[in-house]
Amino acid sequence: MKKRLLVPAFLLLSLSASLHSFASDQTFKAFSDYKVFYSAFNSSFIRPDVAASYSITRGKDWGLVNIAVVKNGAQGGSTALIKGHVANILAQQQTLKFFEIREGKVVYYLAPFRFEDEDAMTFKISIQPDPDKPAHNLSFQRRFYHDE
């Protein structure tokens, strides 16, 4: 029996907040046939029950990077091979281990990472929606603060 995760509310709130953020901050990058939406945030923003259902570690020094790949003209999201790393200002790198979340047609990729208070983190991510075509590269920076 497949376990049904209780995350639609989280995804809808996340999607709603993300779409508002995407519209105002342009936190997407357009590639030939796809748009890649991205965000990074403190893991403590996720409700404890939702975090537990996905085995996400919540904490003041844990963050998540969120990637959604949308084919032009499509709704929901597309599957893709997502790889990358994040580095702090001292060039200390962490490999990002992405995992897929699906709810209906919505597909997201999340990866946890650690940070120190007031860390400026640089994300370098490779997105390959089509295994027969080269990957697209995405790079962005965010500053993180410990959540009290």
Q: What is the pTM of this model?
A: 0.81
Beta carbons of 88 and 115 less than 8 angstroms apart: yes
User: Which helix (H) or strand (E) element contains residue 92?
Assistant: none
Check: CB of residue 99 under 8 Å from CB of residue 46.
no
pLDDT digits (tens, 9 = 90+) for 16-73: 444 444 344 558 999 988 999 999 999 999 999 999 998 999 999 999 999 999 999 8
The region, left, alpha or beta by phi > 0 then psi within -120 to 50, assigned to residue 20 is: alpha
3-state secondary structure of 10: helix
pLDDT in tens, 94-130: 999 999 999 888 899 999 999 999 999 999 999 999 9
How confident is the model at residue 6, as a pLDDT?
36
Please, is 13 exposed, middle or buried when counting C-beta atoms within 10 Å of its C-beta (0-12, 13-18, 19+)?
Answer: middle
Is residue 38 within 8 Å of residue 141, measured between CB atoms? no
- For residue 25, the model assigns a pLDDT of 52
- Taking the CA atoms of 98, 122, 26 and 126 in sequence, report the sign of the dihedral they define: negative
Exposure of 105 in the CB half-sphere (CA atoms within 13 A): 6
Q: Using CA atoms, how far apart are residues 63 and 56, in angstroms rounded to an integer?
A: 10
Going along the chain from its start, the domains and CATH numbers come out as 8-144 (2.60.40.3340)
Contacts of 103 (CB under 8 A, 6+ apart): 5, 7, 8, 11
